[in-house]
């Protein structure tokens, strides 16, 4: 067992982690909803996840009592050797892993998302940045240059005022805003949906990670490939980690930017702004009708003051 992981995190990683490419004969790791059911069962029985590592933890339990069959849990919990190899590989590549049971786990995710917070979180760079809030800057992968320029302008202002940028690391607005922040010596949190290990080793991320400017986070295995589900799923993490969010470019009822903004507006926890250009796009008008606030395109004296007092 990896000595630097708590017993709770070891158990949750065994239950929920993919730990490499799955074979047809492998037992599927628990989904977040399945783990949530198990976590509630543990709470009712005054147990912690680490207690499942005991040889006789299931004594007295039945499949009818447990939300997941005992045999499946046992198979997952017996992957210690595979887990040790995976954790060693991640550590050698500068990655870390935490669970919801760890003190280091970003409190914002648990506060904002409750039981929907990912059981396991992988990352690189200073995990403390994930608790620093900031402005989420999001937008289309196919944004026009005028939108990319505006995203860079806002990100540079964030760096100047000490406001952290939170984004998704996708092409377009996400990448433009993060790169502008890092170039201006600001800090950023990037929630990635694929290939965390590869992105952590890439430039310019590698230098920013070493300098403590950047934290990469993922709810998915560090070697995971792209999937639409992962890309859509990370939206709620971006909004949960931020104090405010700015939609720079969205397409009406299409794509992850639109879906993420609508989801955040329904949740009502993170204030959502949309770029109010001179000619406001229909998608931005629609988001404002759903409760988003206009973000002025002209120069602002204080970005922090404008975000905290959107109606003035």
E-assigned strand segments in 13-163: 95-99, 120-124, 135-139
SS3 243: coil
The H or E element that residue 205 is part of is helix 205-210
- For helices 282-289 and 255-267, the axis angle rounded to 10 degrees is 10
Spatial separation of the C-alpha atoms in residues 252 and 36, rounded to whole Å: 34
Domain boundaries, the chain: 7-92, 127-308
Spatial separation of the C-alpha atoms in residues 179 and 152, rounded to whole Å: 8
Q: Which pLDDT belongs to residue 2?
A: 60
Spacing of C-alpha 284 from chain mean position: 24
Residue by residue, pLDDT tens for the chain (312 residues) are 565 899 999 999 999 998 877 665 678 999 999 999 999 999 998 999 999 999 888 777 777 889 999 999 999 999 999 999 999 999 999 999 999 999 999 999 999 999 899 999 999 999 999 999 999 999 999 899 999 999 999 999 999 999 999 999 889 999 999 999 999 999 999 999 888 999 999 987 999 999 999 999 999 999 888 777 887 889 999 999 999 999 999 999 999 999 999 999 999 999 999 998 878 899 999 999 999 999 987 767 788 888 887 554
- Residues 49, 137 contacting (CB under 8 angstroms): no
What topology does CATH give the domain 127-308?
A: Rossmann fold (3.40.50)
- Residues 217, 122 contacting (CB under 8 angstroms): yes
Sole residue written with tokens 């694929």: 194
Q: Which pLDDT belongs to residue 11?
A: 97
| pTM attached to this predicted model | 0.93
Q: Which pLDDT belongs to residue 312?
A: 44
SS3 232: helix
Q: Which pLDDT belongs to residue 3?
A: 53
- Residues 95, 200 contacting (CB under 8 angstroms): yes
């Amino acid at each position: 067992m990896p000595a630097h992981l708590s017993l709770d995190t070891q158990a949750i990683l065994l239950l929920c982690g993919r730990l490499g490419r799955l074979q047809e004969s492998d037992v599927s790791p628990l989904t977040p909803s399945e783990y949530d059911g198990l976590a509630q069962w543990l709470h009712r029985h005054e147990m912690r996840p680490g207690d499942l590592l005991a040889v006789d933890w299931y004594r007295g339990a039945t499949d009818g009592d447990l939300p997941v069959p005992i045999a499946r849990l046992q198979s997952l919990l017996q992957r210690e050797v595979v887990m040790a190899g995976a954790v060693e590989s991640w550590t050698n590549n500068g990655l870390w892993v935490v669970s919801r049971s760890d003190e280091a786990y970003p409190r914002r995710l648990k506060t904002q998302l409750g039981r929907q917070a990912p059981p396991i979180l992988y990352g690189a760079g200073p995990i403390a940045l994930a608790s620093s809030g900031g402005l989420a800057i999001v937008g289309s992968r196919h944004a026009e240059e005028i939108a990319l320029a505006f995203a860079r302008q806002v990100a540079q202002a964030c760096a100047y005022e000490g406001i952290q940028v939170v984004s998704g690391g996708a092409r377009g607005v996400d990448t433009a805003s993060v790169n502008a922040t890092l170039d201006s010596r600001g800090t950023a949190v990037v929630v990635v949906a694929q290939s965390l290990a590869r992105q952590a080793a890439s430039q310019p991320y590698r230098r920013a990670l070493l300098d403590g400017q950047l934290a990469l986070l993922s709810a998915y295995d560090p070697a995971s490939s792209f999937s639409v589900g992962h890309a859509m799923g990370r939206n709620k993490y971006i909004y949960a980690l931020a104090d405010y969010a700015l939609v720079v470019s969205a397409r009406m009822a299409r794509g992850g930017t639109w879906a993420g903004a609508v989801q955040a507006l329904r949740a009502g926890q993170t204030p959502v702004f949309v770029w109010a250009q001179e000619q406001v796009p229909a998608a931005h008008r629609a988001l404002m009708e759903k409760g988003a606030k206009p973000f002025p395109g002209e120069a602002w004296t204080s970005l922090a003051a404008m975000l905290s007092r959107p109606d003035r």
